[in-house]
Amino acid sequence: MNCFTLLLASLLLAALPMTASPAWPASGRVPEKLVFSLSWTGIPVGIATQEIADAGELRRIVSTARSNDWLSAFFPVDDRTESILEKSGPFPGKTRTFKMLFKEGRRVRDREITFDAAGRIAHYHDRVSGKRLSIALEPDTFDIYSSFFYVRHQPLEPGKSIYINVLDSKKLHRIEIRVLQRERITVPAGDFNTIKIEPMVKPVGVFEGKRGAYIWLTDDERRIPVKAQTKVAVGSVTAVLTGGNY
């Protein structure tokens, strides 16, 4: 899973059902495009993007992460995910399909998950190995990317946690997200009042983490992610907002 996926999308645990929390009165701006710079222990390593747009009755979320020339010389990264959702239920909607194509070094991962919300089942297909699985779902299960948009639209109070069901590849998780504190930070896109959150999962994959991740969201109705950071085996990986349409 690419660095930005890990930093933005780890989210859940078992407690109250999701419907117990009132929705945050956020704008839910669509379309939205965010552009991030990725660095490892201060060294630039690539660019990540996250974009959401409507297409008729459907909604589309596309996220990418690409290594820069320096990293590509010995470990090229070209990751892309796409979520297609119905515009119903909690924002951003109900996932129909989730596709990921990750090219990291010599490794390629090409997977697709089809969601049947009514039947509470998902169908997983690994296009590289040919493996297929059916996975039982809980009500209001999100894919890894749409889950983050859901979190952005919830009340975030320091000292409290929120929970959400996420299907990450072949496993269904219920993950806790801790709301830590308010901070004012500076990133290339500007100065922001933020709320710092901590998804309670350990990153894995190309930027495998030894600890969890931290995400800074703007402390307003937009809840724009302006910074994300995780510790890795050596140093840390950081994503900071550099621009976009938001």
* 79-96 mean pLDDT: 93
User: Position of tokens 């320096």?
Assistant: 70
Across the chain, the runs of DSSP E, i.e. the strands, are 32-40, 43-55, 58-67, 77-86, 94-104, 107-116, 121-126, 132-136, 141-143, 161-168, 171-187, 190-199, 209-218, 225-232, 236-245
What pLDDT, on the 0 to 100 scale, is given for residue 90? 85
> For residues 59 and 31, is the Cβ–Cβ distance under 8 A?
no
Report d(CA 245, CA 29) in Å as an integer: 10
* 113-136 mean pLDDT: 96
What pLDDT, on the 0 to 100 scale, is given for residue 2? 43
pTM comes to 0.84
- Confidence class of residue 101 from pLDDT cuts 50, 70 and 90? very high
What pLDDT, on the 0 to 100 scale, is given for residue 23? 43
pLDDT higher than 80, residue 48? yes
What pLDDT, on the 0 to 100 scale, is given for residue 234? 81
Which tokens hold the place of 130? 């040919």
Most confident of 25-39, 131-145, 180-194: 180-194
- Confidence class of residue 28 from pLDDT cuts 50, 70 and 90? low
- Confidence class of residue 29 from pLDDT cuts 50, 70 and 90? confident
- % residues pLDDT > 70 (the chain): 84
Question: Which residue, 45, 52, 58, is CA-closest to 2?
Answer: 45
What pLDDT, on the 0 to 100 scale, is given for residue 211? 53
pLDDT, mean over the chain:
85
CA angle 219, 25, 86 (to 5 degrees): 115
